[in-house]
Amino acid sequence: MADVAIAGGGIIGLSIAFELASRGASVRVYDSAEPARAASWAAAGMLAPLTERLADDAMQALCEASLRRYPAFASAIANAGGVDPYLSLDGILHTAYDDASLERLAARGAALEAAGHRATLLERAETLLAEPALGKHVRGALLVEGEGQIDNRRLGRALAAACRARGVRIHTGIEHLRIECDARRVLGVRSSAGYDPAGAIVNAAGAWAAQLEGVPQNCVPTVRPVKGQMLAIEIPKGFMRHTIWVPGGYLVPRRDGRLLVGATVEEAGYDARVTSGGIASLLRAALDAAPALSAFSVSETWAGLRPGTPDERPYVCATPLHGYYLAAGHYRNGILLAPETATLVAGMVEGAAAGPPSFTLERFSTKARSA
């Protein structure tokens, strides 16, 4: 297999690196900062293809396929690098605080069951038994089984360790990364670290994917940053157990005692500042749903840039430039989509697979739109 260079060491780039190195490729990752410290660090780590509103059936199928891969993916990473990324698939609880919302949840539960998933509608008493810290005004909840979360910051560390154990070279603090190519194919990457030839190059540069230099214009994806702010509250062990969707936000309990509260969705360019308005809206959602949280301290606030695309579907594809691949634009589901993206891209680089049509560059071409 060709020597592979990966631009961007977020969870997408590292997952591809790990998969390719596990298949025997020689892989180098180039990151302008530290690996897995951008959107992949800022995320909530929910693995929720049934909970998230997704673009369409193709995106739904991609997300569900990736969730199915997660247990094997997480244990392969933990075994290779020695860091457990704390995968937990014990369901996501959707709460309702009035009758109309509970009726909508009941209909959603019935639709999920009809599609072969498991979802259980809980009355108020059952909801409070499952999560006693919720406000007593909760009306009920829907437990969507099989979904869950992974500690994405641990996953970043686990992937970096697993990649290094497989011989992947991770170059950090890289400046002026540029792809070198001729009229037909990629030749290598040039950067502050010098020139390295490469037979295949993967653009996994997240919200910066459109800015990678050196490639022809018809290989540039349309990706923009979509800001998300979050905060963490320190809670006693066991105070909240499930990942919980509440009106206006979500609550994600971590094993280290932090309860993550997320997230805003803002068109703010590359501005990743935390704002008082953003934090106020998150606290309002959390405290309205669970007033008991008001006793605990806020330990951290942060913001990250999701890589958004015009149709909320990622690019996971080859390009007109031979040897150049895109794995970018995973928007709200990049943590969830890491294992499936890695498998698809590794298949393309090996020459075994073309990749699904819904995630190509060509889907935005005039011809594709008028077909």
Ligand X SMILES: Cc1cc2nc3c(=O)[nH]c(=O)nc-3n(C[C@H](O)[C@H](O)[C@H](O)COP(=O)(O)OP(=O)(O)OC[C@H]3O[C@@H](n4cnc5c(N)ncnc54)[C@H](O)[C@@H]3O)c2cc1C
- The contact set with ligand X (CB under 6 A) reads 7-13, 30-33, 37-40, 42-46, 174, 177, 204-208, 212, 228, 230, 262-263, 304, 306-307, 328, 330-336
Identity of the residue, 174 or 292, whose beta carbon is nearer to ligand X in the bound complex: 174
Residue 294 Cβ vs ligand X, minimum distance, rounded to whole Å: 23
Specify whether the CB–CB gap between 112 and 146 falls below 8 A.
no
Query: How many CB atoms within 10 Å of residue 188?
Result: 16
Specify whether the CB–CB gap between 53 and 46 falls below 8 A.
no
Within 8 A by CB and 6+ apart from 46, the residues are 52, 92, 147, 148, 149, 243, 250, 252, 335, 336
Residue 7 Cβ vs ligand X, minimum distance, rounded to whole Å: 5
Residue 175 Cβ vs ligand X, minimum distance, rounded to whole Å: 8
Q: Which residues pair with 225 in a beta bridge?
A: 307
Specify whether the CB–CB gap between 87 and 71 falls below 8 A.
yes
Identity of the residue, 39 or 133, whose beta carbon is nearer to ligand X in the bound complex: 39
Identity of the residue, 11 or 141, whose beta carbon is nearer to ligand X in the bound complex: 11
Residue 66 Cβ vs ligand X, minimum distance, rounded to whole Å: 9
Backbone angles phi, psi at 170, to 5 degrees: -110, 115
DSSP state of 185: B
Residue 111 Cβ vs ligand X, minimum distance, rounded to whole Å: 22
Identity of the residue, 38 or 317, whose beta carbon is nearer to ligand X in the bound complex: 38
Burial 72-103 (b: 16+ CB within 10 A, else e): ebbebbbebbebbbbbbbebbbbbbbeeebbe
Query: How many CB atoms within 10 Å of residue 21?
Result: 23
Identity of the residue, 102 or 325, whose beta carbon is nearer to ligand X in the bound complex: 325
Residue 24 Cβ vs ligand X, minimum distance, rounded to whole Å: 23
Identity of the residue, 12 or 198, whose beta carbon is nearer to ligand X in the bound complex: 12
Using alpha carbons only, give the angle 168, 163, 25 rounded to the nearest 5 degrees. 50
Identity of the residue, 140 or 314, whose beta carbon is nearer to ligand X in the bound complex: 314
Measured between alpha carbons, how far is 19 from 14 in angstroms, rounded to an integer?
9
Residue 235 Cβ vs ligand X, minimum distance, rounded to whole Å: 19
Measured between alpha carbons, how far is 106 from 40 in angstroms, rounded to an integer?
33
Identity of the residue, 207 or 244, whose beta carbon is nearer to ligand X in the bound complex: 207
Where do runs of H (alpha helix) occur along 85-180? 99-114, 124-130, 152-165
Specify whether the CB–CB gap between 152 and 70 falls below 8 A.
no
CA nearest neighbour of 201 among 70, 347, 323, 294: 323
Within 8 A by CB and 6+ apart from 206, the residues are 8, 10, 12, 38, 39, 40, 223, 305, 307, 328, 334
Residue 8 Cβ vs ligand X, minimum distance, rounded to whole Å: 3
Residue 283 Cβ vs ligand X, minimum distance, rounded to whole Å: 15
Identity of the residue, 332 or 363, whose beta carbon is nearer to ligand X in the bound complex: 332
